[in-house]
Amino acid sequence: MPAHQSRSRTRDRNNVLNRPEFISLNQPLARSSAELRSSSRRHSAQAGQFKQPQSQQEPQQQPQQQQNGNTRDRKDSAQQQPEEDCMQLNPSFKGIAYNSLLAIDICMSKRMGVCAFKTSSWGSVRSMVTLLAMTGHGVVWIGGTLICLTRSSTLAGQEVLVNLLLALILDIMTVAGVQKLMKRKGPLEVSPGFLDYISMDMYAFPAAHASRATMVSKFLLNHLVLAVPLRILLVLWAFLMGISRILQGRHHITDVMCGFALGFLHYKLVEMVWLSSNACQTLISIWTFSWSPFFN
């Protein structure tokens, strides 16, 4: 054995780092297989991202741009919407109050329709209520006014009767027009009668009988000299006329109330355009001349 080999061995033995407890410090750290796999995956993914062409990156950016454009359009449309559309989900106090009053009106009107049918709770007095309602028909009042006009011999009486006839025609035409426009049905399914079809009283709003009774009672109280009991009976008749239509199930409570108000307006309008005695005589002469060939 050469001398230099023996010297190197003795040097290695004397080195402290060559001892068994310090051998791990001289060797590099060995990575586990899991760490090696994860690092290799990361490097491959990064490499794939750098190598991805621009033509493949653009389709991924287009859906994002479309989503951004849709959100912008929604914001613009929400800002451009009118206040009425935005308030549909938040109704106003007026709308809530109107719907509540309408529901109360319908409920109470249905409960008060106790004479609508023969099988109703007050079916025994249905004939009396129907007779009371008959006294408020427009056909009855127009026919009675024409009969009284043909038999009247005084100028003052003819003046009052002609203006009453015109007021009745105005009431019938106005109520029929409003009913045709509104087309509100009654609280109960009650078919109109024969006289209702003639006077064009086929819908509920406004109540034609209530309007006519108010106008006629106010007209007679102002132009006829009546005793106090007759005045009270006339006012009571007008009030019961509206109640009878509710009991028959033909009108709501609000229909009758609006009918009372409309009848009062008709009376005021007739008083404003009151025809004089000369104008009434002219109309009577025209009417008698047009009908004279049929009576001669």
Residues with a known catalytic role: 209, 251
The reply to whether omega before 206 is within 30° of 0 (cis) is yes
User: Do the Cβ atoms of 209 and 259 come closer than 8 Å?
Assistant: yes
Three-state SS for 186-211 is: CCCCCCCCHHHHHCCCCCCCCCHHHH
Q: Given CA atoms 253, 257, 258, 263 in this order, what sign does their dihedral have?
A: positive
For 1, how many CA atoms within 13 A lie in the half-sphere containing its CB? 6
* Helix 277-295 vs helix 155-182: crossing angle, to nearest 10: 80
User: Do the Cβ atoms of 263 and 171 come closer than 8 Å?
Assistant: yes
* Helix 155-182 vs helix 208-223: crossing angle, to nearest 10: 160
User: Do the Cβ atoms of 184 and 234 come closer than 8 Å?
Assistant: no
CA distance linking residue 252 with residue 56, whole number of Å: 72
Instruction: Report the length, in residues, of the chain.
Output: 296
Q: Which residue has the tokens 């402290």?
A: 16
CA distance linking residue 259 with residue 254, whole number of Å: 8
User: Do the Cβ atoms of 213 and 238 come closer than 8 Å?
Assistant: yes
Helix (H, G, I), strand (E, B) or coil at 250: coil
148: nearest Cα among 88, 195, 216 = 216
